[in-house]
């Protein structure tokens, strides 16, 4: 038997696929949801509900009460895991642009881009040439940059050579990823409850990118095949029209006048914040502020960051973020160029200029052009969060183990937060050497033993 046969699989037109995992549990996500729903309405106890499940199954219950009657909270009680393979970096970000998303995405450090497919939605020679130019340069500079980094950061006597080599390789990938196009494909694992999948699909099926719309439709189809009683909700024309309008007209964020860094607003009420002064001053290292501090208000920031590092920033879903449109307007982040040896930097600058002209000349929409733009180009990042969310973000993203371009913006936010809230008692636990090369990065891997 084909190993995929027991799972629900839908193929994507560009060669990838959607897989809804069948974990072969005797009590699946639908049954879990039914049991919890019964438990909320009856004092008979779980033993009685298990008997009901055994006699009747969960399908009719979910079809009637969850899908039919629209008791959405029942869908919160069962979860499902979906694997999405062979999709663009852009599509991966669209899937993850949901505040209750849980899952993982393949890291660019662990993908062999000599063979990895790059999506060319235009399906023409011009698009293919742009994509392959990026690939060729990315592959050519791997070894020279690793050699350059070994001279810049020589192995110390107390450092293990195998860990050092991995750290050098990771640093090289951190630099060279900037030349990968956003049409490069990746894999995503996606786990949420039944309700959240249904709610997110309502928006993704109207996404500006055709690729994402197909992923949404095929994911919903695969879910309906795997859990037929929990999907296949009725679609209401007015709701669909409304979602389509704002998704296709206002989803992507653009700001041609975005500054390198800007405090947008400080809407934190200092009178309410006084109630938290002791907790601001006494918070231990690696401890989060109380959730209720959110009642004090929010702070908004905007800054320019390369799309490669934006992918890490987006993982902070406790803050509200806009999805930026990836364009050439804000330029290629200079850090990547300064990290290159002089001879490679000159080649890189020529390539960027040549590729930019080719991308600008593509006869297509600005949304489709994103597939051909390298991830080293900057995008306007607009984020809003309460103090709990922002403090967690800046402390986590300002260490030596984080990509330097994101560290730079986290440090700017730290200085701003200090200026705004130090007199209110805010203490921040910050890495004192955030720019130091640390071979500890060579141990940040997930491998079988």
Q: How do residues 368-384 score in pLDDT, each as one tens digit?
A: 999 999 999 999 999 99
Average pLDDT along the chain: 89
For residue 293, being part of any structural domain is answered with: no
Q: How confident is the model at residue 20 (pLDDT cuts 50, 70, 90)?
A: confident
Residue 406 has pLDDT above 50, yes or no: yes
Average pLDDT on 239-243 reads: 97
For residue 410, being part of any structural domain is answered with: no
* pLDDT tens digits, one per residue of 32-90: 666 676 666 666 676 675 666 666 665 665 565 555 545 677 777 778 889 999 999 99
pLDDT score at 70: 53
> Where do runs of H (alpha helix) occur along 57-141?
59-61, 89-96, 125-140
Say which CATH number the domain at 102 has: 3.30.1360.170
Residue 294 has pLDDT above 50, yes or no: yes
d(CA 364, CA 368): 6
The domain containing residue 202 runs over which residues?
A: 8-106+187-246
Contact 183, 120 (CB under 8 A): yes
pTM of the model: 0.88
Q: How confident is the model at residue 234 (pLDDT cuts 50, 70, 90)?
A: confident
For residue 36, being part of any structural domain is answered with: yes
More confident residue, 93 or 155: 93
Average pLDDT on 7-14 reads: 90
Which of 365, 412, 360 is closest to 390 using CA atoms? 412
For residue 436, being part of any structural domain is answered with: no
Three-state secondary-structure class, residue 125: helix
For residue 182, being part of any structural domain is answered with: no
Number of folded domains in the chain? 1
pLDDT score at 109: 80
Tokens matching residue 166: 């991995």
Average pLDDT on 119-125 reads: 97
Quote the strand ranges of 44-122, DSSP E.
79-88, 102-105
Q: How do 17-20 and 102-105 pair as beta strands?
A: unpaired
Q: How do 17-20 and 320-321 pair as beta strands?
A: unpaired
Q: How confident is the model at residue 186 (pLDDT cuts 50, 70, 90)?
A: very high
For residue 140, being part of any structural domain is answered with: no
pLDDT score at 307: 98
pLDDT score at 449: 45
For residue 200, being part of any structural domain is answered with: yes
For residue 44, being part of any structural domain is answered with: yes
């Amino acid at each position: 038997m084909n190993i995929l046969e027991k799972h629900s699989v839908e193929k994507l037109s560009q060669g990838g696929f959607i897989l809804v995992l069948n974990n072969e549990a005797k009590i699946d996500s639908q049954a879990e949801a039914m049991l919890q729903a019964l438990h909320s309405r009856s004092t008979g106890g779980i033993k009685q509900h298990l008997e009901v499940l055994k006699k009747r199954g969960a399908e009719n219950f979910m079809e009637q009460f969850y899908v039919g009657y629209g008791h959405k909270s029942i869908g919160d009680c069962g979860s499902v895991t979906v694997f999405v393979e062979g999709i663009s970096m852009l599509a991966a970000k669209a899937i993850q642009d949901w505040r209750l998303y849980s899952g993982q995405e393949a890291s660019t450090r662990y993908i062999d881009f000599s063979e990895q497919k790059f999506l060319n939605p235009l399906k023409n020679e011009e698009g293919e040439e742009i994509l392959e130019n990026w690939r060729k340069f990315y592959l050519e500079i791997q070894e020279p940059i690793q050699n350059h980094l070994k001279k810049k950061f020589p192995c110390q006597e107390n450092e293990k050579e195998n860990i050092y080599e991995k750290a050098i390789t990771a640093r090289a990938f951190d630099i060279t990823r900037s030349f990968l196009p956003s049409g490069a494909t990746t894999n995503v694992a996606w786990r949420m409850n039944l309700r959240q999948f249904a709610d997110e699909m309502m928006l993704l099926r109207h996404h500006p990118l055709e690729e994402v719309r197909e992923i949404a439709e095929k994911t919903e189809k695969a879910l309906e095949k795997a859990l037929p009683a929990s999907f296949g909700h009725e679609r209401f024309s007015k709701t669909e029209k409304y979602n389509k309008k704002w998704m296709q007209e206002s989803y992507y964020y653009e700001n041609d006048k975005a500054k390198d860094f800007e405090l947008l607003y400080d809407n934190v009420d200092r009178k309410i914040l006084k109630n938290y002064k002791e907790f601001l001053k006494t918070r231990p290292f690696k401890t989060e502020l109380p959730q209720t501090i959110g009642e004090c208000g929010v702070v908004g920031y905007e800054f320019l960051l390369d799309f490669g590092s934006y992918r890490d920033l987006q993982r902070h879903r406790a803050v509200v973020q806009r999805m930026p449109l990836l364009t050439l307007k804000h330029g290629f982040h200079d850090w990547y160029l300064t990290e290159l040896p002089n001879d490679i930097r000159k080649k890189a600058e020529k390539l960027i200029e040549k590729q930019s002209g080719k991308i600008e000349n593509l006869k297509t929409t600005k949304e489709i052009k994103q597939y051909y733009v390298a991830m080293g180009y900057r995008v306007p990042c607009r984020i809003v969060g309460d103090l709990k969310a922002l403090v967690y973000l800046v402390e986590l993203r300002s260490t030596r183990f984080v990509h330097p371009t994101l560290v730079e913006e986290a440090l700017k936010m730290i200085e701003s937060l200090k200026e705004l809230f130090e007199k209110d008692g805010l203490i921040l636990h910050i890495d004192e050497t955030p720019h130091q090369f640390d071979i500890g990065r060579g141990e940040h891997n997930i491998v079988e033993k």
